[in-house]
Amino acid sequence: MEPIKVVVWLLDGRFLKGYFQNFNPANPSFYLLKQAENTPGSKPDQVNVIDVKGVFFVKTHDGNKDYRERKMFMEGDRAQARKAEVTFADGEVIQGSVVGYDPSKPGFFLIPLDAKSNNTRIFVVSGAVKNFRFL
């Protein structure tokens, strides 16, 4: 299986860049590889989901620092699923599409509205959400 590039934002404001091979959102923790391939002597980081704000699945780890991602829907915008808005505990607000949302589950996937964004999808940890609403 091809490793997946991610940026993991932690509740304390730090972030980790790395790779997944098998991500299961139902597990209480996951392992983050520092390199695309597990090389001899390299040890993945174990990350507890309770410490995570969100797992951002990205196109590149560097992104485009000059690009300003659009995080709010405009009139006439279409969505891949049901439009929603997430306000994180740290105040960040992101709008996107949600296929399934159940606040009793560990988290949910949000598809960013900006197709040019470096983020392809975001696993939002339910415990990091201050407010959620469908639009």
Position 115 scores a pLDDT of: 85
User: What string of pLDDT tens digits covers the 135 residues of the chain?
Assistant: 678 999 999 999 999 999 987 789 899 999 999 887 666 667 888 999 999 999 999 999 988 888 888 888 888 888 878 999 999 999 999 999 998 899 999 999 999 998 889 999 999 999 999 999 999
15 near 54, Cβ under 8 Å? no
Q: How far is CA 58 from CA 40, 42, 89, 107, in A?
A: 26, 22, 22, 18
Is 51 in a helix, a strand, or coil?
A: helix
Residue carrying the six token digits 């091979």: 21
Q: What is the pTM of this model?
A: 0.91
All residues at 6 or more sequence positions from 23 whose CB lies less than 8 Å from its CB, including other chains = 4, 6, 30, 55, 123
